Structure 1
Amino acid sequence: MKTELNLFERTLTLHRFPEHAAEQLQAWDAGDEYLIRHAEELDLAPKQNILIINDQFGALACWFSEHHNVTVMSDSFISRRGALQNLERNQCPAVQFMDAMSALPNDIDLVLMQLPKNNRYLTWLLSQLRRSISESCPVIAVNKAKEIHSSTLKLFDKYLGDTRTSLAWKKHRLVFSFANSQPQLDVSANTCWTVEHEDISLTNLPNVYSGESLDLGARFMLEHIPQNDRYGTIIDLGCGNGVLSVKTARLNPNAQLICVDESLMAVQSAKINLSNNVDSGVNVQYIANNCLDGFEKNSADLVLCNPPFHQQQAVTDHIAWQMFCDAKQVLSTGGELLVIGNRHLGYDKKLAKLFGKNQVKRVASNAKFVILQATK
């Protein structure tokens, strides 16, 4: 696995976060390289105020902080931790960090962006840029060429302004735009809807997974949330908008509930939704984190988990494995990990390897999903 980015006679040492001994994925991609190469060709004057959006693990922040004032905006706890470590590793000047719901600086000279997968999040970002930056400030975004559709460019035209694209390079393409759309359109941060048959109303911030409707896995999981007076502490690991936590809190009102996600918007959405759907007396904590880093061992009685199968733009199963390993550490003896996943992912084998074959049982299944319980 390559850890050194070499461009223009300069070398950066970059690692993903969290680091894994057998890591197979780089901490940057060809899109980062394309943005860097193009910006270097612009021959920017020193000390430009550069806003970097969705920097994966800090490659862009490390590169541009040498000569410019850099602000990094991200919704990802993991991306921020990765960027901080890589900035320190390469002895880079300090940069400013901000979350994606904060007001943008009003003195931006250049915007560089890795395009998000979520079009609702992209629309929100474009609308915020349109309201905050000058018409002369270039916005340069990048993604794999196959992911930049005509619908993507229409969003830029509608919510930001005049837009064009580059030629493809290493299967990536740049998008160039300016904040001059007419009229200037307001975009609400919240998408709200109700869950059928559950009397749950959900508010979803722009980058929340499945923020426009309930995903099928969560819908199936809702039918199998356990209720038990012995649950003292319950963790919703990868809580998303908190829908599972709402049902869990209603069934187990005396338990302490902890909502954990690496997305800051997910954690905030969960907080809103627990507040709106559950009695105020329920004890709930909300934590943006890398899985269960820093949690006390043997401290939880139940962990609910609907694992993602990607990190940033990369498809990977190491996050699910880390979630399972962390859950085992944090669960008390007799504690339960309840996991839902697509049938083909083979989580039963992973859990059997970790907990023991006799400690894993199938709770429910349908044509697409399986719910498994592993007992410590």
Structure 2
Amino acid sequence: MARKADRVNGHKAGNGQNEQYFSATPSSEDVRRTLQVTLRGRDVTVETSHGVFSGSRLDLGTSVLLRHAPETPEHGTFLDLGCGWGPISLSLALESPEAEVWAVDVNERALELTAGNARRNGCENVRTVTADAFADEFPADAGFDVIWSNPPIRIGKDALHELLMTYLPRLNHGGEAYLVVQRNLGSDSLIPWLADQLGAEFTVGKYASSKGYRVIEVLRA
């Protein structure tokens, strides 16, 4: 998500199934399928499609994040950064039905799927918004109490850094973020970079490891 670049990692965004989820409007045919998935112990029915991240299953990295991230507060403003078809948004909304959950992605099809999956599972507290429209719809003086993300590492380091530094500084005091990143795609080097960029108000560290992934914790004092 984050950038509407014509090229991502040397490939045209939208050229082939693996790259289309970076595009605002995927070029692949919108063929819907129904999946039964378990999200933090809750069985849900969701709809997915081509042209979105991990459109045929629950991604392993997302599964690791959902298994290890701590229990969320009952109330607050939460963010799912790079929502795809919505597994993280649904998990946050079902676990904390009194919270407001913002689902952000560049991919309009992904946002449509997330919104539909939220309605399908009774999650009236999920609000979907494109990355471009976020600044207009989210109050400039507001922040997030919780951020969960399986960030799009393959958009490239510069775009990823820009994405993370757009949203992580908006953690409220006492807020917490959990990011899942594959170890061989730079999770261990991302931790000191985030600590340096975010500054002394933030604590960044490895929270958990599983199946080749790291869950990175970011806390704001």
| TM-score interval, smaller chain | 0.7 to 0.9
Q: 1:104-131: per-residue Cα shift (whole Å, max 9, x none)? A: xxxxxxxxxxxx7xxxx3xx2xxxxxxx
CA deviations 1:167-197 (Å, max 9, x no partner) are xxxxxxxxxxxxxxxxxxxxx7202211145
Go from structure 1 to structure 2 and tell me whether the alpha carbon gap of 1:328 and 1:218 turns closer, same or farther (over 3 Å shift).
closer
Paired with 1:31 and 1:356, the residues of 2 have a C-alpha distance of 34
Please give the alpha-carbon distance, in whole angstroms, between the structure 1 residues aligned to 2:51 and 2:153: 16
Partner AA of 2:196 in structure 1: K
- State the 1:299 CA deviation: 1.8
CA RMSD, 1 decimal? 3.3
Cα distance change of structure 1 residues 370 and 195 upon mapping to structure 2, 3 Å threshold:
same
Shift of 1:298: 4.2
Partner of 2:119: 275
Query: Which residue type is aligned with residue 129 of structure 2?
Result: I
Q: 1:231 to 1:352 in 2, by over 3 A?
A: farther
Q: Which has the higher contact order (CA 8 A, sep 6+)?
A: 2
C-alpha contact 1:305 1:340 (8 A) present in aligned 2: yes
Q: Residue 254 of structure 1: SS of its match in structure 2?
A: coil
Deviation at 1:275, TM superposition (A): 1.2
Cα deviations by residue, 1:296-353 (Å, 9 ceiling, x for unpaired): 2442111111111234xxxx12232122211233222222221110113122122211
C-alpha change, 1:211 and 1:193, in structure 2 (3 Å) is same
| Largest Rg, 1 or 2 | 1
Structure 1 segments, 4+ long, off by >6 Å, are 25-28
The residue aligned with 1:259 is: 103
* Alignment-derived partner of residue 6 in structure 1: none
Whether 1:359 aligns to 2:200 is no
For 1:329-344, list aligned pairs within 5 A: 329-344=169-184
Assess if the C-alpha contact under 8 Å between 1:193 and 1:202 holds in 2.
Answer: yes
Separation in 1 of the partners of 2:115 and 2:177?
23
The answer to whether the aligner puts 1:210 opposite 2:54 as a matched pair is yes
Q: 1:223 aligns to what SS in structure 2?
A: helix
Write the distance in 1 (CA, Å) between the matches of 2:215 and 2:165. Answer: 18
Q: Which position in structure 1 is the counterpart of 2:128?
A: 286
Per-residue deviation, residues 180-239 of structure 1 (Å, max 9, x unmatched): xxxxxxxx7202211145402221122111111111101111113433436410010100
Work out the percentage of aligned pairs sharing the same amino acid. 23
Q: SS of the residue aligned with 1:310? A: helix
Structure 1 unmatched runs, 5+: 1-16, 20-24, 33-52, 56-73, 78-98, 101-115, 125-187
Count of residues paired in the alignment: 206
2:210 is equivalent to residue 370 of structure 1 = no
1:177-326 equivalent positions in 2, closer than 5 A: 189-196=31-38, 198-229=42-73, 231-277=75-121, 279-280=122-123, 282-290=124-132, 293-294=135-136, 295=138, 296-311=140-155, 316-326=156-166
Contact 2:177–2:219 (CA<8 Å) still a contact in 1? yes
Alpha-carbon distance, 1:75 to partner: 8.1
Q: Against the structure 1 CA distance between its residues 219 and 252, is the aligned structure 2 distance closer, same or farther, given a 3 Å change threshold?
A: same
Give the gaps of 5 or more residues in structure 2. 16-20
Query: 1:276 deviation in Å?
Result: 1.4
* In 2, Cα distance between equivalents of 1:202 and 1:27: 30
Q: What's the offset of the Cα at 1:242?
A: 0.4
Structure 2 counterpart SS, 1:227: coil
Moved more, 336-345 or 250-259: 336-345
Structure 1 position 328 matched with structure 2 position 168: yes
Q: Which amino acid aligns with 1:354?
A: Q
In 2, Cα distance between equivalents of 1:238 and 1:283: 17
- The corresponding residue for 2:190 is 347
**Residues 1:76 and 2:10 aligned together:** no
Cα distance in 1, alignment partners of residues 125 and 180 from structure 2: 25
Question: 1:250 Cα deviation (Å)?
Answer: 1.2
